[in-house]
């Protein structure tokens, strides 16, 4: 596979499935058509091929992941085969999503750094923080709840203003979407193949 083909395979899925010799081209396509009979799907048949596009496919549409595609009956020499090429915007978006979340993480770092530098350049007079409440209600005490303690590490609290600017969630979701892409690129082509096979078998 050349480089362009490798890049295309990020969002494109291809496959072939040998047909039952007893099945004619028309019968095979007729069995596949119900797979495309879903909300928002437009299908065009030309000769021995079906092409489709989907707009806002339903969640349970069996080919919802693939926005457009073509299915063709071809003669492989050893018999008829179904060949397909499916295109998925969802796979492409999932492939790119880690970059978006890394960008959010870097934005958080950038803002936190700017605010820290600004706070250093223009130090505000230290406000006297109220002492934490260490009162325990007698009912809680009687029921055996641990008594409140003074927070041990006040140094961590100094970063409190920036606690919602941590890059960690961005990194975590970048990782989650990288894993989701691998899962989807592995799973979805297999599910499509299984659906085509079952449709052709008439099951």
**Residues that bind another protein in the complex, under the rule CB under 8 A:** 39-40, 56-60, 64-65, 90, 93-94, 97, 101, 104-105, 107-108, 111, 127, 130, 133, 135, 137, 139-140, 143-146, 148-149, 164-165, 169-170, 172-173, 176-177, 180, 183-184, 187-188
Could you give the CA distance from residue 106 to residue 90 in angstroms, rounded to a whole number? 24
What are the C-alpha distances in Å from 163 to residues 46, 109, 111, 160?
59, 11, 12, 5
CB nearer to another protein: pick between 77 and 123: 123
Query: CB within 8 A of 16, min separation 6: which ones?
Result: 74, 76, 81, 82, 83, 84
Min dist CB 177 to another protein, Å, is: 7
- Residue 79 Cβ, how far from another protein at the closest point, in Å? 32
Q: At closest approach, how far in Å is the CB of 58 from another protein? A: 6
DSSP H helices in 77-167: 89-121, 138-143, 154-158
Nearest Cα neighbor of 69 from 15, 28, 7 is 15
- Cβ proximity to another protein: between 25 and 38 the closer is 38
Q: Which C-beta is closer to another protein: that of 93 or that of 117? A: 93
Q: Count Cα atoms within 13 angstroms, Cβ side, for 18.
A: 7
Nearer to another protein, 49 or 116 (CB): 116
Assign 7 to helix, strand or coil. Answer: helix
Tell the smallest beta-carbon distance from residue 35 to another protein (Å). Answer: 15
Kindly tell me the number of DSSP H helices and DSSP E strands found in the chain. Answer: 6, 5
* Residue with Cβ nearer another protein (16 or 161): 161
Tell me how far, at minimum, the Cβ of 2 lies from another protein, in Å: 28
């Amino acid at each position: 596979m050349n480089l362009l083909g490798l890049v295309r395979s990020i969002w494109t899925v291809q496959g072939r499935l040998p047909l039952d010799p007893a099945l004619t081209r028309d019968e095979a396509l007729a069995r596949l058509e119900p797979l495309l009979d879903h909300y928002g799907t437009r299908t065009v048949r030309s000769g021995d091929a079906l092409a489709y596009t989907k707009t806002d496919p339903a969640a349970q549409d069996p080919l919802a992941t693939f926005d457009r595609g073509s299915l063709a009956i071809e003669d492989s020499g050893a018999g008829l085969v179904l060949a397909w090429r499916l295109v998925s915007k969802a796979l492409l978006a999932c492939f790119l999503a880690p970059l978006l979340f890394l960008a959010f993480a870097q934005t958080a770092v950038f803002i936190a750094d700017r605010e820290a530098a600004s706070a250093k350049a223009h130090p505000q007079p230290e406000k006297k923080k109220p002492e934490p409440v260490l009162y325990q209600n007698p009912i809680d005490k009687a029921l055996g709840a641990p008594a409140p303690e003074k927070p041990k590490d006040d140094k961590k609290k100094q970063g409190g203003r920036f606690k919602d600017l941590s890059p960690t969630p961005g990194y975590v979701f970048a990782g989650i979407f990288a894993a989701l892409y691998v899962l989807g690129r592995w799973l979805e082509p297999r599910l499509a193949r299984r659906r085509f096979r079952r449709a052709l078998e008439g099951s």
